[in-house]
Structure 1
Amino acid sequence: MLEEVERWLSSRSWSAADRPLEQLLEAKRQSGRTVSVVLPALDEEATVGAIVATIRAGLMTEAVPLVDELVVLDSGSADRTAEVAAAAGARVVHRDSVLPRIPALPGKGEVLWRSLLATTGDIICFVDADLREFSATFVSGIVGPLLTDPDVHFVKAMYDRPLETAGATAAVQDSSDPGGEQGGRVTELVARPLLNLHWPQLAGFVQPLGGEYAARRSLLERLPFPVGYGVELGLLVDALHTVGLDGLAQVDVGVRKHRHQGGQALGRMAAAIYRAAQLRLARGHLVRPRLTQFRRSEQGFAPYTTEVDTEERPPMAEIPEYAARRAA
């Protein structure tokens, strides 16, 4: 299985720079495909406007018409998210106005699911609305393979996630601790072990829970959507079983900065992700006792694999030597 992951990494992992905008625009023109960008948003007035403005200025101009539709799906913000997004040039759709006969449930996945009804693009690109220092490369990078390679159906962004605390940014990981001082704690502690153990074909994904990914509508419309934080893991696993590993890809877009959650929120995310995995494990999958992680090198993200501790010691009371000592 490690050989398959390495093969996939060499053939389905790219950098955003690998596909210049001119190439993407020509591929889009020839294919006639349309692109929708969706920002799921809840109380993101501080960041959503800059993201919308960046996409419109970089990818929705007469010279660069890569994105055809930009929708902010508001899931009930109590702040000025909708107003700020609209002023920046997005079409704002309120969650409850989409498919109103089905009462909406709280959760990110619910909003992403309903966005399929609120958009028209052949390719749908999801971008979290809490990103700072946002670059349009996040969109063009992950949409690119879907425009240029008909065999690719689902693309995740990969990036560094510096962990910022109390206004300070932790140093990017060093070679002695490739995962140190980084965001993505739920990824490293929950999602990556789950994927490596139960869906080892997906071990090559650097950011399996990242909120920036793009897919063909023809795939998304066939997948169930967990309504909460389990949506990213659920879609990735189900996409694997629907289009196969070579239908999936990832693109390096650099650095992602966003608001980090507190410990309790991370616990809720972890529980939702575990539940999404639990439901899918009912289908039955093999377990591989190895874990693939990543460090950045001059050539990009490089995988390294370690064995997972699977052995267990019995209770010490069952060990004869221990029992004899206690008796003495």
Structure 2
Amino acid sequence: MRPDVRRWLHHRTYTADTWQAADLVTAKGARGATVSVVLPALDEERTVGSIVATIRQELVERCPLVDEVVVVDSGSSDRTAEIASAAGARVVSVDTVLPRHGSRPGKGEALWKGLAATSGDLLVFVDSDLIAFDPQFVVGLLGPLLTDPTVGYVKALYDRPLTTTDGIVPSGGGRVTELVARPLLNAFWPELAGFVQPLSGEYAGRRELLEQVPFVSGYGVELGLLVDLVALAGLDALAQVDVGTRQHTHQADAALGRMAGQILQTALARRPDTGRPERELLQFLRTADGLEGVSWDVGVVERPPMRSVRAADARPWGRT
């Protein structure tokens, strides 16, 4: 493991239970900060209402940590907007925010429009398909931002149970992360190798930073933000928080393929011209003592065409 990544993991990896909402309300007041929670949504009538209601009840009414909850609807054909509004969110359509700029399909578009439609100094983004949502997700993400002014962007890390025909596997979700995003980051942006869940949909940041970077319209938005923010603010301004377990709806392989394609395009557009990529791949295991990083050498050796080998072997010694 690279020394800079090891230092960052030790210095900038937290657990959500480190903070309680009431304590962060005090820190928020001392800094005069405001907090907006943004949920991008497309046909999520099954889960969005519960998430909004939980945030409203626990973090707006019971403990005033969050100032506004906004659901950005990407043209849902079901009752997503109606249910979210009834649960207490302000619902905006991607088509009505910054209408001069039109609308593009994809999650990143909803996040970008959410940035424009809110006013909080700190923004927390939460996927709207989460099952058994825990408000401590939001508390944990806000913890570093409200207690350390040098932190500008915080990602959630978690275990992702995978539902299979044999039941629920405790871990195994995040297939696009392991097969596409992690190898890309390790190869071309190795300083970001310490992010356990680089594609997590739960993250928080300071508006002053988020308004300085582009938002990719599709599923490449999370990888794009990581790469652009580390270039803008440096690795030490980024952090991650362990929020435990995250459950959400799993997508079919064909949909994951399209997601992977968008992530690949995002990475290719930002690929640094630094010669050969890094050979090390850092992966993570959950152990009794927490998270353990395991490094692998994934470098490859390319052999020449066999015809050239045979031709070379057939030459008499001493001749070229």
Aligned to 1:298: 288
Kept in 2, the 8 Å contact 1:37–1:125? The answer is: yes
Structure 1 residue runs of 5 or longer lacking an equivalent are 173-181
Q: Is the 8 A contact 1:317 1:323 kept in 2?
A: no
The residue that corresponds to 1:9 in the other structure is 9
CA distance in 2 between counterparts of 1:285 and 1:104 reads 37
1:275 maps to 2:274: no
Match of 1:176 in 2: none
Counterpart CA distance in 2 for 1:317 and 1:26 is: 73
Following TM superposition, by how much is the alpha carbon of 1:321 offset from its aligned partner in structure 2, in angstroms?
8.8
Q: How does 1:58-77 map to 2 (within 5 A)?
A: 58-61=58-61, 63-77=62-76
- Shift of residue 57, structure 1, vs aligned partner: 1.4
Q: By how many angstroms is 1:54 displaced?
A: 1.0
Contact map agreement 2:213 2:225 (CA 8 A) in 1: yes
Contact in 1 for aligned 2:230/2:238 (Cα 8 Å): yes
1:186 aligns with 2:176: yes
Contact 1:199–1:285, Cα closer than 8 Å, also in 2 = no
Q: Residue 257 of structure 1 corresponds to which residue in structure 2? A: 247
> Deviation digits for residues 238-265 of structure 1, max 9, x if unmatched?
0000110000000000011001111111
Following the alignment from structure 2 to structure 1, what is the Cα–Cα distance between the partners of residues 299 and 190? 16
Please report how far the alpha carbon of residue 316 of structure 1 lies from its aligned counterpart in structure 2 after TM superposition.
3.0
Count residues in correspondence: 314
What is aligned with 1:177? none
Partners of 1:322 and 1:86 in 2: how far apart? Answer: 74
- Aligned equivalents of 1:196, 1:110: Cα separation in 2: 26
The aligned residue for residue 99 of structure 2 is 100
Matches within 5 A, 1:120-199: 120-166=119-165, 168-172=167-171, 182-199=172-189
Structure 1 residue 103: deviation in Å? 1.4
1:206 and 1:265 map into 2 onto residues whose CA distance is 22
Alignment partner, residue 85 of structure 2 = 86
The answer to whether structure 1 residue 224 and structure 2 residue 223 are counterparts is no
- Residue of structure 1 equivalent to 2:256: 266
Distance 1:284 1:19 in 2: 40
Q: What secondary structure does 1:151 align onto?
A: coil
* Partner SS for 1:226: coil
1:316·1:322 contact (CA, 8 Å) conserved in 2? no
CA contact (8 A) 2:159 2:170 kept: no
1:44 is matched with 44
Q: Match of 1:291, SS?
A: strand
Q: CA RMSD in A?
A: 1.7
Alignment of 1:16-35 (within 5 A): 16-35=16-35
Q: Is the CA contact 2:188–2:272 (under 8 Å) kept in the aligned structure 1?
A: no
1:204 to 180, 194, 197: 194
CA separation of 1:22 and 1:167: change in aligned 2, threshold 3 A? farther
Q: Is the 8 A contact 1:145 1:152 kept in 2?
A: yes
For residue 221 of structure 1, what is the amino acid of its counterpart? E
SS at the partner of 2:101? coil
- The runs of 4+ residues in structure 1 deviating greater than 3 Å are 282-286, 321-324
CA distance in 2, matches of 1:91, 1:262: 31
Q: Which amino acid aligns with 1:277?
A: A
1:145-178 per-residue CA deviation (whole Å, 9 max, x = no partner) reads: 1111000000000000111134821134xxxxxx
Q: Is the contact between residue 197 and residue 290 of structure 1 (CA under 8 Å) also seen in structure 2?
A: yes
Structure 1 pair 48–311 and aligned structure 2 pair: CA distance change class (3 A): same
Q: CA deviation at 1:109?
A: 0.6
SS at match of 2:292: strand
2:317 — aligned with what? none
Aligned partners of 1:284, 1:272: CA distance in 2, in Å?
Answer: 22
The TM-score, its normalising length taken from structure 1, stands at 0.92
Aligned position for 2:223: 233
**AA aligned opposite 1:57:** Q
| 2:318 corresponding residue in structure 1 | none
Which amino acid is the alignment partner of residue 200 of structure 2?
G
Tell me how far apart the structure 2 counterparts of residues 194 and 69 of structure 1 sit (CA, whole Å): 35
3-state secondary structure, aligned to 1:319: helix
TM-score normalised according to structure 2 size: 0.94
Show structure 2 runs of 5+ residues with no match.
315-320
1: CA distance, partners of 2:117 / 2:265: 27
SS at match of 1:101: helix
The secondary structure found in structure 2 opposite 1:105 is coil
